[in-house]
Amino acid sequence: MRRILLIILLVATLPCIDCRAEGRGFNLIVVGDPQPQTEEQITRLERDIIPHIGTIVEEYIATGYPTAILLTGDIVWDTMEFLPRVKRMFESLGVPLYAVVGNHDHPADISNNERVAERYYEAVFGRRYYSFTLGDTHFVALDNICYSDHDNYTIDIDRKQLRWLRRDIRRVDPEQRIAIAMHAPAMNFRKGEMLDYANEIVDIVGDRELHFITGHRHRHATADISPRIIEHSVAQVNGNLWFAPLCSDGTPRGVFCIEERNGAWSWQHRILREEKDYQIVAWNEGLVAEHEEWVVAKIIGWDSMWRVEWLEDGVMMGQMEQIEIVDPDYMHYVETEADYSEIIMARLRRSAYPHKHYFRCRRTTQNSEITIIATDRFGRVFRHIVGS
């Protein structure tokens, strides 16, 4: 009897990880293309990135909802010996780890033997396609890299996976949300068109709500393909290939966080080392080429469902004007601070092209105070004050 009472007392004093959770849900931290190639880069991953992701993990664990991490592929950069180390780093954060295979997760010295090339990844991370459930969402991880060699691969899903996917989806509730995680995109973002192989996935999923979660592009984008289909293209966690402190579209180093609460999703690009409400960067007049007379703002994590407004000295002035530009901070870094080989410098410049998450406004009064207000699709409001 005393032993039973002792057990009851011990259980009663254990921390309850669900004590703050209300209803069903989860937190998923999506990490885009870690991709270390050198010892110096994997050390930076361990010392400069993992601890800051750990801060977000701790924040999410405190909510009481289940928390997990998803790696979007290119876990390494042709360095198969790094795969176990990177896995251990993320597992050390103490939450479930999921992953998909990327084109750089194959050994560069193997050609025309995809099955052998895949074994390195499988030996560390297991199956290349599988499914799991978090909250009210059924997740499916797929391998959409058809690999020949380092420089030759196509983006597609083989027949074997599609047959498996049909069987897997049949056992899922018809009303349940589906999330497909893959390395390469489901759509051509420049043309705004779904790729043929992705249309086959859509046909299998049917009329359910569908989210694609992908990496590979090293840029952030959320594309509303249809009222029920969205693709989340996750920016590279380490900037541009470890060679720049932000991605070429201006997205700062960070992770893509998906939260589900009582069946509903919300998401946000979380910048490492910054507070959750940091989503706006602004430049005063004279700092952005070809827009010298304007205050220019970058809305981090922007998509077409955001509203961006401005106030001048507290007076609402309406919506800011949207513009497409190359990120000023990225180009400043490339042209004044970066010091790499000619090949790398050319790659940094080549990856920079205009993006749509920039807005401008012009003061009507000299030295006035400008307040930028950005409201996302979930009604969250972010503010940034720009002095004269």
Interval 41-66: pLDDT, tens: 999 999 999 999 999 999 999 999 99
> What is the pLDDT at residue 22?
65
SS3 250: coil
According to DSSP, residue 324 is labeled E
pLDDT tens track, the chain, 388 positions: 333 333 333 333 333 333 356 678 999 999 999 999 999 999 999 999 999 999 999 999 999 999 999 999 999 999 999 999 999 999 999 999 999 999 999 999 998 989 899 999 999 999 999 999 999 999 999 999 999 988 889 999 999 999 999 999 999 999 999 999 999 999 999 888 999 999 999 999 999 999 999 999 999 999 999 999 999 999 999 999 999 999 999 999 999 999 999 999 999 999 999 999 999 999 999 999 999 999 999 999 999 999 999 999 999 999 999 999 999 999 999 999 999 999 999 999 999 999 999 999 999 999 999 999 999 999 999 999 998 7
**Could you tell me the pTM of the whole model?**
0.93
Q: Boundaries of CATH 3.60.21.10 in the chain?
A: 11-271
> What is the pLDDT at residue 12?
33
User: What residues contact residue 271 under an 8 Å CB cut-off, 6+ apart?
Assistant: 252, 253, 254, 278, 300
> What is the pLDDT at residue 21?
62
Compute the mean pLDDT over every residue in the chain, rounded to the nearest whole number.
93
User: In whole angstroms, what is the distance from residue 361 CA to residue 349 CA?
Assistant: 28
> What is the pLDDT at residue 153?
94
Percent of the chain with pLDDT over 90: 89
> What is the pLDDT at residue 3?
39
Q: Boundaries of CATH 2.60.40 in the chain?
A: 280-386
Query: Regarding the domain delimited by 11-271, which CATH topology (the fold level of the hierarchy) does it fall under?
Result: Purple Acid Phosphatase; chain A, domain 2 (3.60.21)
User: In whole angstroms, what is the distance from residue 332 CA to residue 240 CA?
Assistant: 14
User: What residues contact residue 121 under an 8 Å CB cut-off, 6+ apart?
Assistant: 75, 83, 101, 105, 106, 128
- The CATH number assigned to the domain with range 280-386 reads 2.60.40
User: In whole angstroms, what is the distance from residue 362 CA to residue 370 CA?
Assistant: 9
Instruction: Kindly give the residue spans of alpha helices, DSSP state H, lying in the chain.
Output: 2-13, 39-44, 50-61, 83-91, 114-125, 159-170, 196-205, 328-336, 342-350
> What is the pLDDT at residue 343?
95
Decide if 291 contacts 325 (C-beta within 8 A): yes
User: In whole angstroms, what is the distance from residue 341 CA to residue 343 CA?
Assistant: 5
Antiparallel, parallel or unpaired: β 295-299 and 280-283:
antiparallel
Percent of the chain with pLDDT over 70: 94
According to DSSP, residue 22 is labeled -
> What is the pLDDT at residue 17?
35
User: In whole angstroms, what is the distance from residue 291 CA to residue 224 CA?
Assistant: 29
According to DSSP, residue 320 is labeled P
User: In whole angstroms, what is the distance from residue 192 CA to residue 346 CA?
Assistant: 27
The amino acid present at 190, given as its one-letter code, is: R
The residue with tokens 């402190």 is 245
